[in-house]
Amino acid sequence: MSILTVETTPFDDQKPGTSGLRKKTKVFMGDHYLENFVQAIFDGIGGVTGKRLVVGGDGRFYNDKAVKIILRMAAANGAARVIVGQGGLLSTPAASHLIRLNKTDGGIILSASHNPGGENEDFGIKYNTANGGPAPEGVTDAIFAKTKSMSSYKIWDGEAPDLDALGDSHLGDMVVTVVDPVSDYADLMETLFDFGAIRGLFADNFTMRFDAMCAITGPYAIEVLENRLGAAKGTVVHGTPLPDFGGMHPDPNPTWAHELMDEMFSEDGPDFGAASDGDGDRNMIVGHNVYVSPSDSLALIAAHAKNAPGYKDGLPGVARSMPTSAAVDRVARALGIPCFETPTGWKFFGNLMDAGKVALCGEESFGTGSDHVREKDGLWAVLMWLNIIAATGKGVGELLRAHFKEFGRNYYSRHDYEAVESDKAQAAYQKLRADLAALSGTTYGDLNVAQADEFGYTDPVDGSVSNAQGLRVMFEGGSRFVLRMSGTGTSGATLRLYLERYEDDPDQLDLDPQDALAPIISAAEQIVGFAATLGRAKPDVIT
Ligand code: G16
């Protein structure tokens, strides 16, 4: 056996997006496409000679083959050891944990997250650094630069080891260690939450439905919820990861997790419901007859985190992405802790967590997590809610109502226009961008524009600057809308319109969010003109 050096030519479309490189699966399966990008990762991080890595993915179509290609390339590039989840499987938070636990030099995670999987659907790959978090922009820029001049890659000329057999084997000089993907992660959860109290909850006939959407969280949720916490068998539904997610779109929001929503809003629905996404880092929280928006979930967790043993000493600070509602800001003010506002993308939280400035982070895109790993963590958020319910004795609806009464309510919604032709999406975006300077002082119904700008961020830890991170139109009184182009889609362009309005009138805390936000939706339409520019009468997805 030997090292093969394969001649190749660069691809011009390998720029990582919000979270790594995501394309149609067949693009990755094309000659040299995956290999070029993997070699660019290795070269972009200064080579992997003598390094230790974690590799795994969410089990979607092509996961197994891609893991084996990466192992053969790591061996050919001189890596010392690669830790792989059994069967090539690892949830994104579990991969982050393994990197940190084993102090490896980084890891490669295969997933297109919440995007559908299958031969005709989506695939993705991203690199995480030694802190367990998604590579920051400086690293992804270096990787992208390498993709542009790729002329050859190295691959081991021999079969990768059997990924189903636990333990060590060799690929050339490199050690391949196949580990149980679940147990280390489940052990970590036991250190953070009051498993005794949650066990008591389930022993007391508390009912729950966790929809794993035929994706990676199934085995994790079954082990933690059913085996370790005593939730009834069958609590976890769609619990077997399938290469095409059983045809489900594993995006935990009310639109795509509609089976769960129907169950939770039925007469005999369970007390508590949750769903996770393709790679296990997103979460949706639902009570019986009550949906919790991700921004409210973040705020409520911030207010109650002290109930969980891992957070009993309080939070040093919190962070949210810019488009996420300011509900958590109000909690932070009440707690007397800082709240940081970052661009969209979990990678922007890493420095803040590493520096000990924040321990809780969240995004409107169904992501919540803490400094226990450096990724958002779907099951972690579910356990945090269970811990809070067990500690307070209050249900989801009761907790939420009390929260709004204390802090007021940031009505919030996101309207997505998906798979729009790129030039039309650009036209709508650039029109607003050009109009920003003239918007201050203009009026739409009862709304006066106080400020309109393009968000930019200077990292308070390393001073790095990230410009052009979304357009904000802010009205007097705290309402606003934000327009962004998604960085995770694979077909055309997706425009995201984020809408927010603050309300503290006790009689106005129980409105339908779309009704509460109607004046802002109307102002956004007048200012941007979605119907005319995009030719779409309404958004495709509303969360
Ligand atoms: C990724 C990022 C998140 C981001 C989300 C949506 O999540 O990790 O930080 O909020 O994409 O990004 P965009 O609005 O650009 O589509 P995931 O779960 O897809 O990895």
CATH number at residue 373: 3.40.120.10
Which residue from 322, 344, 483 has its CB within 8 A of the most atoms of ligand 1, so it is best to mutate?
Answer: 344
pLDDT bin (cut points 50, 70, 90) of residue 492 is confident
One domain, residues 198 and 59: no
One domain, residues 172 and 204: no
Q: Is 71 helix (H, G, I), strand (E, B) or coil?
A: helix
Range of the domain at 236: 185-407
Residue ending a domain, choose from 130, 153, 181? 181
Distance 365 CA to ligand 1 centre (A): 7
Distance 113 CA to ligand 1 centre (A): 8
One domain, residues 30 and 111: yes
What is the tens place of the pLDDT at every residue in 121-165? 999 999 999 999 999 889 999 999 999 999 999 999 999 999 999
Which residue from 19, 140, 414 has its CB within 8 A of the most atoms of ligand 1, so it is best to mutate?
Answer: 19
| 536-539-543 Cα angle (round to 5) | 175
One domain, residues 29 and 60: yes
Q: Is 168 helix (H, G, I), strand (E, B) or coil?
A: strand
Residue type (1 letter), 256: W
What are the φ and ψ backbone dihedral angles of 428, each rounded to 5 degrees?
Answer: -65, -45
pLDDT bin (cut points 50, 70, 90) of residue 19 is confident
**C-beta 154 within 6 A of ligand 1:** no
One domain, residues 374 and 519: no
d(CA 398, CA 387): 15
**C-beta 348 within 6 A of ligand 1:** no
Q: Which of 96, 113, 276, 325 is catalytic?
A: 113
d(CA 327, CA 346): 19
Query: Annotated catalytic, 113?
Result: yes
Distance 20 CA to ligand 1 centre (A): 10
Side-chain-facing half-sphere of 234: CA atoms under 13 Å: 2
pTM of the shown model: 0.92
* DSSP class of 132: S
- CA 8, distance to chain mean position in Å, is 33
Distance 93 CA to ligand 1 centre (A): 14
In terms of DSSP bridges, do strands 471-475 and 447-454 run parallel, antiparallel, or are they unpaired? antiparallel
Q: Is 198 helix (H, G, I), strand (E, B) or coil?
A: helix
Spatial CA neighbour of 473 closest among 455, 489, 446, 491: 455
Residue ending a domain, choose from 135, 157, 181? 181
One domain, residues 193 and 143: no
d(CA 72, CA 92): 22
In total, how many domains does the chain have?
3
One domain, residues 371 and 303: yes
One domain, residues 394 and 486: no
Q: Domain with 491 in it: what CATH number?
A: 3.30.310.50
Residue type (1 letter), 540: D
**C-beta 488 within 6 A of ligand 1:** yes
One domain, residues 374 and 457: no
One domain, residues 348 and 375: yes
Residue ending a domain, choose from 407, 425, 448? 407
Spatial CA neighbour of 310 closest among 393, 390, 195: 195
What is the average pLDDT across 315-335?
Answer: 97
What is the average pLDDT across 277-282?
Answer: 96
Ligand 1 atom nearest to CA at 484: 14
One domain, residues 387 and 308: yes
One domain, residues 166 and 204: no
